[in-house]
Structure 1
């Protein structure tokens, strides 16, 4: 159900405020789990890269820096999510007194940092794959396989541009074209 449908339901029948509370509580919890899932995927990819491309110190340093950056992003995103509203449950109980900052601004900020980390993770193995002692055609094929991660970057850009709407609050998104 879209946010606009929930709002229309509340306007028609204010007793449906519980529907909005359930929606916003689900949004809050889902974002917490999504951040964790994204971090686990990033970490597993970086650890995999460290295992197969262990040869150079420079590569290990860059890989470690990306791992630390990903961990810092994860902690910052979780803390920002937990501090979106004070008290926390005022995020989904809209009538409860509390103070909230714009969820969409937080989502955009964490999304942009996530995108930059994804680009770093994408570029990291391509450079190493090109240095492998293999025939040129095989090196290009291996680099191409790693470059398929570019779809993640494209999907992230599309997701951020589709979901983020300036001025929107509490997880509103653009209405879908039907």
Structure 2
């Protein structure tokens, strides 16, 4: 079977040790996590894990079923890339003096549709939101002038098809109200 990229959304209560239990499901199946992001969901007291993996579809189905059997996991979904809208964010710290030498850095920032967040006498913080290849392309270009620091988030994603997720979130809210 062919490996494909999938994004998994896992809805849980916010409890200590839950991250370890969720990640344990991947570890025991020898599945490498490409990206992992956790955040609040649109429902109070419910958290969302967004995890990107590259695996066979047969294995993703089994993984999601196993995740849902976990005690504190409320629901898990998996999506193909065309079923979601997603982004990452990256921050780059570069030498400030490079801005004084030429328009090269400014042109680079414009070319990559990035933004300056902070100007300091010693460094400049640049922010880029986009898909992984776009962030990687900016990193390659900025390395030519020097990068003091680089950090990127994991994927954040929302589904295009709202019906299953909306029905689930509404059911959680109804349970909370009662």
TM-score bucket (shorter structure): under 0.3
Please report the TM-score for the alignment, with normalisation by the length of structure 2. Answer: 0.23
The higher radius of gyration belongs to: 1
Please report the TM-score for the alignment, with normalisation by the length of structure 1. Answer: 0.23
Bigger fraction of residues in strand: 2
